Amino acid sequence: GAVVSQHPSWVICKSGTSVKIECRSLDFQATTMFWYRQFPKQSLMLMATSNEGSKATYEQGVEKDKFLINHASLTLSTLTVTSAHPEDSSFYICSATNQGQGYGYTFGSGTRLTVV
Amino acid sequence: AQSVTQLGSHVSVSEGALVLLRCNYSSSVPPYLFWYVQYPNQGLQLLLKYTSAATLVKGINGFEAEFKKSETSFHLTKPSAHMSDAAEYFCAVSEPQGAQKLVFGQGTRLTINP
């Protein structure tokens, strides 16, 4: 079945530094990828939607200059948290889909970001 | 706009008992509906999905859900709970056209008592 690989699974960084999270579709072409943020014991909050080769569409309230999303190929999307602060600490999850493959969404395993 | 309401943030059942997790949706167009399971510090795994075919949908691990348009519901059931079913469950809705974003419910934590 469809597999999405997300790396790293966890990362600790210092305040003010940037962190890049990768999301790769291993066995299908992901025409659309989604990035979510999840706080402890809460639901997933959509941050942005990205289509290959296009600029990401950010949800209201999400700072596009802080959360940089790149979807340069049909198998790779990246989320870069720039100038991270402790309040950016969270669980980030990507999801990928290809409309032509049975309309399914495949999720990555998530990245636990801790900013100290 | 679409929305999902999961009734009960926490459900506890005994091993072998019926599992019922409730989900009601709101959508201005015929929706696609999904149930996902999440184990601690992991991503989401699809249990089942409704995409306008049969209203009774069977999924993995013995779960099933029934789409009831008149009740705007998509409740998840399993006849006999196993200890391994303990996890967080999310109901989600999307519009049917194209690669539309998923809108998630608040989640229901399922606890299985031995």
- The model's pLDDT over B31-47, given as tens digits with 9 standing for 90+, comes to 899 999 999 888 899 99
Return the closest-CA partner of residue A94 out of A76, A72, A73.
A76
Average pLDDT, chain B: 93
Residue A14 has φ and ψ, to the nearest 5°, of -85, 150
Residue B60 makes CB contacts below 8 A (sequence gap 6+) with B46, B47, B48
pLDDT at position B109: 97
List of chain A residues whose C-beta atoms are within 8 Å of the C-beta of residue B36: 107
A6 Cβ under 8 Å from any chain B Cβ: yes
Containing H/E element for A102?
A: none
Which pLDDT tens digit goes with each residue over A78-94?
A: 999 999 999 999 999 99
Which pLDDT tens digit goes with each residue over B73-100?
A: 999 999 999 999 999 999 999 887 666 8
List of chain B residues whose C-beta atoms are within 8 Å of the C-beta of residue A108: 43
By Cβ distance, the residue of B98, B101, B107 closest to A34 is B101
Smallest CA–CA distance, residue A44 to chain B, in Å, is 7
B59 Cβ under 8 Å from any chain A Cβ: no
- Contact state of A99 with B99 under an 8 Å Cβ cutoff: yes
pLDDT at position B60: 94
By Cβ distance, the residue of A32, A42, A110 closest to B99 is A32
Strands B10-14 and B108-113: parallel
Which pLDDT tens digit goes with each residue over A17-71?
A: 999 999 999 988 888 999 999 998 889 999 999 988 888 999 999 999 999 999 8
Please tell me the distance from the alpha carbon of residue A73 to that of residue A53, in angstroms, as a whole number. Answer: 7
Q: Which two tokens stand for residue A13?
A: 């960084």
A43 Cβ under 8 Å from any chain B Cβ: yes
pLDDT at position A2: 82
A60 Cβ under 8 Å from any chain B Cβ: no
Distances from the Cα of A19 to the Cα of A9, A10, A11, A81, B113, angstroms: 12, 11, 8, 5, 40
Cβ-contact A81, A26 below 8 angstroms:
no
3-state secondary structure of B71: helix
3-state secondary structure of B61: helix
